Amino acid sequence: MGQHVPDSKRNDQRTPVARRRLPKMAEIVASELRQKILSGALQPGDSLSSESSLVEEYDVSRPTLREALRLLEAEQLITVRRGSHRGPVVCHPDTSVTARSFSMLLQLREGTLADIYAFRMVFEPVAVRMAAETASDEDLARLRALLEEEYEVRGDADRFPEVAWRFHTTLAGLSGNITMTVLAETLERISKRHAQAALLRWADGDRQRDSAYRAHKKLVGLMEKRSGAEAEQFWAAHMAEVGKKLLSSTDELSIIELME
């Protein structure tokens, strides 16, 4: 008497490779166009071919092509101008897409604002040292321009955190390390809005903003002297002090609420 084979196994005798889901044609078309954009073969502002030309080039139906374009549009790799004769136009995504996905993942894994600040304290002082050692006169001029803007808005609890965080992201960018730059930009929305919420609550908000401005000004002075190690130590101490203040009152805002 033969061995009984469960229906689930009897109905699917394919090999693991055969059982693997094959990509849809729209995904294949989107992948080919994505590679052209990411490799630099297509640059921001370039127009893709017209819809008719793309249908012919990839030998797909119009609905399939439109699905492929929707995938790329959702990734902010193209903009589709309805009714335009130029066709889809190539663009580069900003960090808003990454920031939102990253924030949702942090929220789902029960990440906290303290987690974010602790991570910033790992890479920002290092970024400062790298920036101090390599910054050009033009780079330092950008930081001084931001200092002037900070000075002008230091009495505004809503605008100051926005300018001050731009100072932070500019420092990360001047490090020359792309990973640090993208991470700083990704965390910008959360950290900026958290600082705004905190400053609006603090009775000594004016003093805190003035203190932050003075710290930023001192840092630029150290960078002008190319004192990388000293700049790193100063920035680590400054961030530790600010972090205690920011996280001393555990607010009820969650990470995802700061993204709304």
Q: What percent of the chain has pLDDT over 90?
A: 50
**Range with lowest mean pLDDT among 21-25, 66-70, 150-154, 165-169:** 21-25
Domain tally, the chain: 2
Same domain, 104 and 60: no
- Residue 48 makes CB contacts below 8 A (sequence gap 6+) with 33, 42, 54, 78, 87, 88, 89, 90
**Range with lowest mean pLDDT among 79-83, 173-177, 179-183, 214-218:** 79-83
pLDDT by residue (tens digit) across 119-151? Answer: 999 999 999 999 999 999 999 999 999 999 999
Same domain, 133 and 29: no
CA distance 83 to 55: 17
Question: 21 falls in which pLDDT band (50, 70, 90)?
Answer: low
The answer to whether residue 6 scores a pLDDT higher than 70 is no
Please give the distance of CA 75 from its chain centroid, rounded to a whole number.
13
Same domain, 36 and 84: yes
The Cβ of residue 252 has, within 10 Å, a number of other Cβ atoms equal to: 6
The pLDDT of residue 96 is 77
Q: For residue 113, what are the CA distances in angstroms to 44, 98, 174, 244? A: 35, 18, 25, 12
DSSP string across 102-121: HHHHHHHTT--HHHHHHHHH
Same domain, 104 and 141: yes
Backbone angles phi, psi at 120, to 5 degrees: -60, -35
**49: CATH:** 1.10.10.10
pTM of the model: 0.72
Owning domain of residue 189 = 96-259
Which of 90, 107, 141 represents a domain boundary (last residue)? 90
pLDDT by residue (tens digit) across 23-68? Answer: 789 999 999 999 999 999 999 999 888 888 889 999 999 999 999 9
Closest-CA residue to 33 (of 77, 67, 64, 98): 77
Same domain, 106 and 155: yes
Residue range 211-215: mean pLDDT, rounded:
94
The three-state secondary structure class of 59 is coil
Q: Which residue has the higher pLDDT, 47 or 87?
A: 47
**131: CATH:** 1.20.120.530
- The angle formed by the CA atoms of residues 125, 205 and 187, to the nearest 5 degrees, is 40
Q: Do 121 and 240 meet the contact criterion of CB atoms below 8 Å apart?
A: yes
